[in-house]
Amino acid sequence: MTPAIIVGIIVVILALVLIVRNIHVVQQSKAYVIERLGAFSDVWGVGIHLKIPFLEKVVKKVSLKEQVLDYPPQPVITKDNVTMQIDTVVYFQITDPKLYTYGVEYPMVAMETLTATTLRNIIGDLELDQTLTSRDVINTKMRAILDEVTDPWGIKVNRVELKNILPPADIQSSMEKQMKAERDRRQAILQAEGTKRSAILVAEGEKESAILRADAEKQSAILRAQGEAEAILAVQKALADSMRLLNEACPNDQVIKLKALETMQKVADGQATKIIIPSELQGLAGLATSIKEFAKD
């Protein structure tokens, strides 16, 4: 094998190695920023790309996924001069790899500094109570400001959250005492409401019980009166029936006098001390007495 052939083989091998080393596969959710001779050339998306050796260079590999930055607690001062520690979480996404590469030096450091200054400016306009109760308002304001400022950097801020708000120890202790007093007050109110409700229920129960008792007594009196009326009606009906039967039998004078005598006997059994017997019954009464004495003998 001649030296020229050997040199040719070496050159081919080196060329193949050089080509293979300059083949780049861009993965999903990635982007490569390419410079040619020191100037921006292109942004590679997903797929296979061939870089021109010695002329082009991959200056930055950018992730297009949503990313999270969790910043350590930052000291901030409220409008009423209370110093507290607040740590912030920022959710962002790179939307323009070119701007992200050339827009600002050290983008993550710039994001952290911008987040801290924005937080101090917003909290500085709020008092302590407003800061503790206005998380949503603070989050919305911070997201709007950060998204506007980072737009020239190719960054979109999707969400900002205040993870922790830590007031000073003495203020935190006072707040805990205040919350305990508030809980005790609510408990006392609930107990008073329960006692009041219980008394109302007892009174309503007694009222309903009295109404039911009165209604029962009323119904009992009505039933007794109906029973007595029915009894009187039955007696009167029986008397009327007996009179009707007696009239239908056409009794003679002796039977009528005998019935009258029986009635006088019943009258005599009462508490009367003096009884006046009609003259037409006296003879019949004597006859009845004689028959009674004869029956005894």
Tens digits of residue pLDDT in 27-36: 989 999 999 9
Is 297 contained in some domain? no
Report the pLDDT value the prediction gives residue 187, as an integer from 0 to 100.
Answer: 85
| Domain interval for residue 47 | 3-63
Q: Same domain, yes or no, for 163 and 211? A: no
**What span, in angstroms and rounded, lies between the C-alpha atoms of 264 and 276?**
9
Q: Same domain, yes or no, for 129 and 215? A: no
Is 294 contained in some domain? no
Q: Same domain, yes or no, for 80 and 160? A: yes
Identify the residue whose tokens are 């007892």.
202
Report the pLDDT value the prediction gives residue 236, as an integer from 0 to 100.
Answer: 77
Question: Which residue, of 45, 63, 81, is where some domain finishes?
Answer: 63
Is 212 contained in some domain? yes
Is 293 contained in some domain? no
Q: Same domain, yes or no, for 144 and 174? A: no
Q: What angle do CA 46, 47, 50 make, to 5 degrees?
A: 120
Q: Same domain, yes or no, for 180 and 241? A: yes
Is 117 contained in some domain? yes
* 189 burial level (CB within 10 Å; 0-12, 13-18, 19+): exposed
Q: Same domain, yes or no, for 151 and 218? A: no
Q: Same domain, yes or no, for 74 and 161? A: yes
Q: Same domain, yes or no, for 94 and 123? A: yes
Q: Same domain, yes or no, for 97 and 47? A: no
- Nearest one of 13, 80, 20, 76 to 53, comparing CA atoms: 20
DSSP category for residue 31? E
Q: How many alpha carbons fall within 13 Å on the CB side of residue 200?
A: 6
Q: In Å, what is the CA distance from 73 to each residue of 135, 145, 167, 261?
A: 16, 20, 12, 123
Q: Would you write out the chain's pLDDT as a tens digit for each of its 297 residues?
A: 677 778 788 888 888 888 888 888 999 899 999 999 889 999 999 999 988 888 889 999 999 999 999 988 888 988 888 888 999 999 999 999 999 999 888 999 999 999 999 999 999 988 888 888 888 999 999 999 999 999 999 999 999 999 888 887 777 777 677 777 888 888 889 888 888 988 898 888 888 888 888 888 888 888 888 888 888 888 778 777 766 776 666 655 655 555 655 655 555 555 555 555 555 545 545 545 544 454 445
**Predicted structure pTM score:** 0.57
Q: Are 77 and 52 spatial neighbours (Cβ–Cβ below 8 Å)?
A: no
Question: Which residue, of 150, 167, 184, is where some domain finishes?
Answer: 167
Q: Same domain, yes or no, for 111 and 125? A: yes
Question: Which residue, of 35, 63, 91, is where some domain finishes?
Answer: 63
Q: Same domain, yes or no, for 113 and 185? A: no
Number of structural domains in the chain: 4
Is 296 contained in some domain? no
Report the pLDDT value the prediction gives residue 278, as an integer from 0 to 100.
Answer: 55
Q: Are 52 and 83 spatial neighbours (Cβ–Cβ below 8 Å)?
A: no
Is 21 contained in some domain? yes
Q: Same domain, yes or no, for 150 and 191? A: no
Report the pLDDT value the prediction gives residue 256, as an integer from 0 to 100.
Answer: 59
Give me the count of residues in the chain.
297
Q: Which two tokens stand for residue 83?
A: 């110093």
pLDDT digits (tens, 9 = 90+) for 199-257: 898 888 888 888 888 888 888 888 888 888 888 888 778 777 766 776 666 655 655 55
Report the pLDDT value the prediction gives residue 291, as an integer from 0 to 100.
Answer: 45
CATH number (domain holding residue 130): 3.30.479.30
* 268 burial level (CB within 10 Å; 0-12, 13-18, 19+): exposed
Is 259 contained in some domain? yes
